[in-house]
Structure 1
Amino acid sequence: MTNTSVGWGIPIGKTRYNRTVYHNINKIPHAKVAGATGSGKTEFLKYLVTYMCMRYSPNQVEFIIVDLKNGVSFAPFKWFPHVRGIFKTVREAMEAIEAAHKTMVDRLIEVERLRAVFRKEPVYPRLIVLIDEGGELAPAYAITEQDKAMRKTALDFLASVARIGREPRVNIIYGTQRPDADTLPVAIRGQLEGVFCFRTENELDSKIVLRHEGAEKLRWIPGRYLYKSPLVKHDIEIQSPYVPQKVLRRLIEPLIPVNTFYDIPRDEVRFKDEQMDPGDDGIGLDNVIRIGDWGR
């Protein structure tokens, strides 16, 4: 499958000086998103998926979303044609990551055969394995031996993707509260060169994510984080974008098949944003990306 050449610079927020920062997923294919509960990790992950689904076609980017909070955070995203599925349990996660690994292997086999005879290689759709609350995959937290084996298998496949997924365009975005040895093995952690570190609970957690202190000193503003990558000389403090609930609804609702709400008439369905965000009536599709308050 071929697609047209596109730029892969993703706007990831603004600095205190109103400068937009971009993360190049082509140059830095794997990343980790970490931070304490309530710091804004999931909202940022939701923004990334929304932005890429609006920016690129399904022939250019696909998602496997592992949402280990029983799928509640990413439930509406299953309607985007870019999304292969939302996987909510350890077993589903293992099977989804195994499928991503198989995609990677199949692509590598095809590339090897084409290169052997000097044939032009296809440009594959970028497949992104996005994991929220990846700590739930830790074998240390397993209840049974079978459960432990599934978690270990999932992490083994993920480690392989992290090591050799760059060329066949299979990428990882791994979200967790604390990527220590239990929740994110070193074999995977070392390959996730893009770092989005939201506020941490303490200095130790900051050192685990960034290899130094600092994230624990961020102001407690949801969406504030430190960005680190091989392409920048030092950490950058950024306020992340987010997608308001009403905007997300306007983008996704036209994609939902009729009668999906278990035959409940549309005018009887109540959405959380109708109660929580009465002041957002003026949001339009030209305002999809919002930047949080810098607190000044």
Structure 2
Amino acid sequence: GGGLLSTLPVVGIALLTGGAAYYTLRQQQRDHARAVEEYKESYQQALERTRRRLQQLERQQRSYYEDNNPDLTTLLQIARGERNRDGVSVAAARLWERRPYDADFLCLRVGRGDRPTSLTIKPPSVNAYSKDVEDSLMLADQFRFVRDVPIDVNLRAVGSLGIAGPSGRSLNILQALLWQIAIHHAPSEVRIAAFWEANFDDSWEWLRYLPHTRPLDGDDSYRLLARYDRNPEDMQRVIAALSKEIKRRLEAEGDQRGRRPHLVIVLSDYHQHHAESALFAQCIAGQRLDVSAICLVPEVRNVPGECGGYIDLVLGGSPEHARLGVSGLGGGYSTFKADVSSTAQSSELARLLAPVELANADGGREMPRNVQLLALLNIPDAAQYNPEILWGQPLAASWHPVPVGSKSADAALEVDLNEGIHGVHGMIAGATGAGKSELLLSFLMSLAIRHHPDRLNFLLIDFKGGATFRDMSRLPHTAGMVTDLSGFMAERALIAMNSELDRRKRLLAKAGQPNIKGYRKAVIDQNGEPLKPMPNLFIAIDEFDEMIRDYPQFQDELIRVGKQGRSLGVHLLLATQQPSLIKEGLLNNLSYWMSLRVNSREDSKAMVGLPDAALLGTDTPGRGFFRDKNSGV
């Protein structure tokens, strides 16, 4: 009995040890299960965040494709000069907008289909048998393509294009392509010539109304259009005119891009008529001469080998679909649902465009890539400039109009801050590298050169630390400059603006005048004392979006300045990268907008009522749109 009792402690210890080990194991299992669940939850949250980010990027890509490749309905709206919901003329901003130096010059929409995403999506490296990898692979596969967006082909890049299929369908898609050439490109920069057979006259006659089919020699008695089997003299006349132009281009030296119109030659039934003129073969192979051909043939095997692209209307997989093939590096195949137009719609479009002409037939509408501020101000030599000459010019209104840029080679864009013209308060928007700060400085310098310091003072606020306005401090017009908006300086800037508004109110009250115009007309105040000069105060704020993120109270104060500034002679100019962040109360007090390239359609619409400022190229900083409340874009 004593032996059994002596073993009880050992058994108890063993049971306790086993129990502790079991408890520890169970705790480890629970901890592991909890960690696995937390990992799964965290992983799913990460996947969901990635999904939302991919959806946002997909929307941006879709928006870009849709805006840059408008459908036929929008093209007709442009031709008709219709206005959008904001009252801005669609035609004013988009008609003949593509220039020879633009990347989308002769980039033509062919229909709608799926495009590979421009994003690189790499699923995480996890166990190949894990469900997690299935979720990540499904997510990556979901966003490999941007679905149902415009498909386009760059005619200048492919050189020439073949359209293979039944005549009726070929003509329908050809008309859609010609619409885009006529709407997006000015006649001075693209000319269209066409040759066709008699039995399809009705499908081609509308081209006669397009200004793009006028001959290059200026003879308005004919068009660059001919029927193979009608009048041989007409045919030879068009061929002779085109041959003369091709010969001239062959003899030209150097890069002529942008100096001569691109020729687009349409050749119907090319497989039957290719031997009728050596000109046709020259045109198909004329890429270096700024010549492209569009050849209509019944089958892909009939497409000339020199064509860098083709549209196959037979192998698209269904009667509605077609196949686009592009050769060379970056080429490939795309299946799409083709855009088609009717002859009746084409005739309407051509008649709408027939009377439209460029502002200056010799190229005066051409917009320079660079412009010098002194040239706009007619100052040939800065060293010889005497400011008193311009400052001394009589000023009937409150402001002289000042140039801020160029609308064309011979027309400056002038801003007139007088109320009733461009108005009192404005905004400049531009993404990084778009030239926003340069435009802001040019505007301020132009104002300073045209107005005496007794008529104009600057208060300059730069949230980035003073880089923009560094050299402006030496101007006699600069009454104050804030370059580091710490909390203390932000408070001081607010106090300074409020104090200046109150000071001006007191001066007007003492003079017995309701506004600055009346104050300037009066010579003495109500007590017979001479009035002190009251210059307009121009408050310019750079990086305004960053400022209001850190100091949102600034916006509310500026709304007050915007409302009261008109009568007090206080003006606001806000420079920002994200105009869509600005409060409506402040936007309602603005009367003019200058938008360079911006980052989103929303920012562009906030500035000019159109998405086009988001589509401006990065290769032309300083290019943009101007809008005011009275005359639009």
TM-score normalised by L of structure 1: 0.67
Q: CA deviation at 1:219?
A: 3.1
Alignment counterpart, residue 22 of structure 1, candidates 414, 420, 432: 414
Alignment counterpart, residue 623 of structure 2, candidates 212, 224, 245: 224
Q: Distance in 2 between matches of 1:31 and 1:14?
A: 19
Equivalent positions of 1:147-158 (< 5 A) are 151-158=551-558
**1:37 partnered with 2:432:** yes
Partner of 2:578: 178
Q: Which runs of 5+ in 1 are unaligned?
A: 143-150, 236-296
Alignment counterpart, residue 131 of structure 1, candidates 511, 536, 541: 541
Partner of 1:281: none
Partner of 1:95: 492
Partner of 2:107: none
Change (3 A) 1:94 1:155: farther
**1:49 partnered with 2:444:** yes
**1:194 partnered with 2:589:** no
Partner of 2:13: none
Equivalent positions of 1:1-296 (< 5 A) are 5=395, 7-16=399-408, 18-27=410-419, 28-90=423-485, 91=487, 92-115=489-512, 121-122=519-520, 124-138=534-548, 141-142=549-550, 151-181=551-581, 184-220=582-618, 221-232=620-631, 234-235=632-633
Whether contact under 8 Å (1:63, 1:83) holds in the other structure is: yes
Q: Encode CA deviations 1:72-111: one digit per residue, 9 max, x unaligned.
A: 1211211111112321222434423432332222222332
Residue 224 of structure 1 aligns to a residue whose secondary structure is: coil
Q: Which amino acid aligns with 1:223?
A: G
Change (3 A) 1:116 1:219: closer
Q: CA deviation at 1:205?
A: 2.0
Q: Which amino acid aligns with 2:536?
A: R
Q: Encode CA deviations 1:220-244: one digit per residue, 9 max, x unaligned.
A: 3111110000232x31xxxxxxxxx
Whether contact under 8 Å (1:101, 1:158) holds in the other structure is: no
Q: Distance in 2 between matches of 1:204 and 1:152?
A: 21
Partner of 1:270: none
Q: Distance in 1 between matches of 2:427 and 2:510?
A: 33
Whether contact under 8 Å (1:97, 1:129) holds in the other structure is: no
Q: Encode CA deviations 1:106-164: one digit per residue, 9 max, x unaligned.
A: 222332343379xx6246201000000011222xx43xxxxxxxx23322221111111
Whether contact under 8 Å (1:66, 1:88) holds in the other structure is: yes
Residue 166 of structure 1 aligns to a residue whose secondary structure is: helix
Q: Which amino acid aligns with 2:395?
A: S
Q: Larger C-alpha radius of gyration, 1 or 2?
A: 2
Q: Distance in 1 between matches of 2:622 and 2:494?
A: 28
How many residues align? The count is 218
Q: Per residue, is there more helix in 1 or in 2?
A: 2
Whether contact under 8 Å (1:196, 1:227) holds in the other structure is: yes
Residue 602 of structure 2 aligns to a residue whose secondary structure is: helix
Q: Distance in 2 between matches of 1:116 and 1:224?
A: 42
Q: Which amino acid aligns with 2:403?
A: P
Change (3 A) 1:37 1:213: same
Residue 443 of structure 2 aligns to a residue whose secondary structure is: helix
Shifted more, 84-93 versus 191-200: the winner is 84-93
Q: CA deviation at 1:194?
A: 0.8
Whether contact under 8 Å (2:593, 2:627) holds in the other structure is: yes
Q: Distance in 1 between matches of 2:445 and 2:625?
A: 21
Larger RCO (CA under 8 A, 6+ residues apart): 1
Kindly, what percent of the aligned residue pairs are identical?
A: 24
Whether contact under 8 Å (2:462, 2:541) holds in the other structure is: yes
Residue 130 of structure 1 aligns to a residue whose secondary structure is: strand
TM-score normalised by L of structure 2: 0.33
Whether contact under 8 Å (1:61, 1:127) holds in the other structure is: yes
Q: CA deviation at 1:202?
A: 2.6
Q: Encode CA deviations 1:237-288: one digit per residue, 9 max, x unaligned.
A: xxxxxxxxxxxxxxxxxxxxxxxxxxxxxxxxxxxxxxxxxxxxxxxxxxxx
Partner of 2:300: none
RMSD, aligned CA? 2.3
Q: Which amino acid aligns with 1:179?
A: P
Residue 624 of structure 2 aligns to a residue whose secondary structure is: strand
